[in-house]
Amino acid sequence: MKTVHRPYQDRSDDFERMWAFLVEDYRDRGTFIWTLGRLGDWKYGAWSEYKYIPCYLGDDAHLWFDAFGSLAGFVVSENGDGGFTMFAARGNGFLYREILDWTVAHWSGRGRLSTEVHQEQTELLDILQEAGFAADGVVAVTQKYVLRDVTGDEVPLPEGYRIVDMDSHPDWDGKRLLQLDAFQGRSELTELDRRAYRYSRECPVYLPQYDLSILDETGRYVAGCQAFVDARNGYAEIERICTHSAYRRRGLAAAVIRACFNRLDARGIRLAYITGYSPGAQALYAKLGAVSCSSWTVYRARP
């Protein structure tokens, strides 16, 4: 079947098309290559100066359509650099070669190209190797949980500590300060931080009742996590798991994740996934009752 391709257009319905693509892709595979939360972060996550100007979206996504106008595949760069991820709808695996050729031709000037490949994307491996890409190790592991099997009593907290969500306790500055400390080692909040954080919450999959935190006896945010839910397919991806640097190694991350499991299960969500990039994170998530895990391998273009 004929295909056409063009840059992403933010003023059209391209984002909605990509969203629907990921929902259907999970339904076809029974697992995900990207979650809705990650796609939402690509558009709404202004985590660097590069992403402050919305026109970057058209530079960092390219879409392929079949003869009837349905989205058949696309390529995305999250940071405007040489890192990219390719997608092809079931039955359109032939597009991987064309998408990769286009990416090499148009994005090689960004530096050494690389892509993270999920272990189920087996059809991609030969294509990447033929194009001069080589495996450079496992970069992340995703754990899968059946929620009815991992719910129950929540992990006991120190006296005076409590778990809240951002729907009932919307202290946005407090939560953002926790994330800045945990992820960037920063202790001060700027107005730009506030605005970028507010913009990130415009993501269609952000729901404050699934944005959980642990408060200490003084009301300080000391740990947290956030679940993005694909209600149609009945799964959630738990992300932004963090603990304040002064409160680590106290079991707080496990406690807030367990609370998130319980909340998701109570609302009829069947499955949850957590992806860890560091060995420590992977070890923690494996202890929470995962039924299986899958890996992501980074492939880099040869110098």
The domain that contains 59 carries what CATH number?
3.40.630.30
> Is 138 a domain residue?
no
> Is 53 a domain residue?
yes
Mean pLDDT of the chain: 95
> Is 139 a domain residue?
no
- Specify whether 151 is located in the same domain as 229: yes
Q: pLDDT tens, 187-232?
A: 999 999 999 999 999 999 999 999 999 999 999 999 999 999 999 9
> Is 62 a domain residue?
yes
- Specify whether 69 is located in the same domain as 204: no
Q: Is the pLDDT of residue 1 over 80?
A: no
> Is 303 a domain residue?
no
> Is 102 a domain residue?
yes
Residue 274's pLDDT is what? 97
Tell me the residue length of the chain. 303
CA–CA distance, 273 with 147 (Å, rounded to integer): 10
- Specify whether 150 is located in the same domain as 294: yes
Residue 55's pLDDT is what? 86
- Specify whether 158 is located in the same domain as 255: yes
Residue 52's pLDDT is what? 86
- Specify whether 51 is located in the same domain as 110: yes
Domain boundary among 116, 135, 156: 116
Residue 87's pLDDT is what? 95
Alpha carbon dihedral 81, 237, 65, 72, in 10-degree steps, equals 110
pLDDT-above-70 percentage for the chain: 100
> Is 41 a domain residue?
yes
- Specify whether 248 is located in the same domain as 290: yes
Q: Is the pLDDT of residue 29 over 90?
A: no
Please answer whether residues 61 and 8 qualify as being in contact, where contact means their C-beta atoms are separated by less than 8 angstroms.
Answer: yes
Residue 108's pLDDT is what? 96
Please answer whether residues 102 and 5 qualify as being in contact, where contact means their C-beta atoms are separated by less than 8 angstroms.
Answer: yes
Could you tell me the pTM of the whole model?
A: 0.94
Domain boundary among 116, 135, 170: 116
3-state per-residue secondary structure call for 154-187: CCCCCCCCEEEECCCCCCHHHHHHHHHHHHHCCC
Confidence of residue 96 (pLDDT cuts 50, 70, 90): very high
Domain tally, the chain:
2
> Is 96 a domain residue?
yes
Which structural domain range is residue 245 located in?
Answer: 145-298
- Please list the alpha-helical segments (H only) found in 108-251: 122-130, 147-150, 172-184, 191-200
Residue 48's pLDDT is what? 87
CA–CA distance, 228 with 266 (Å, rounded to integer): 15
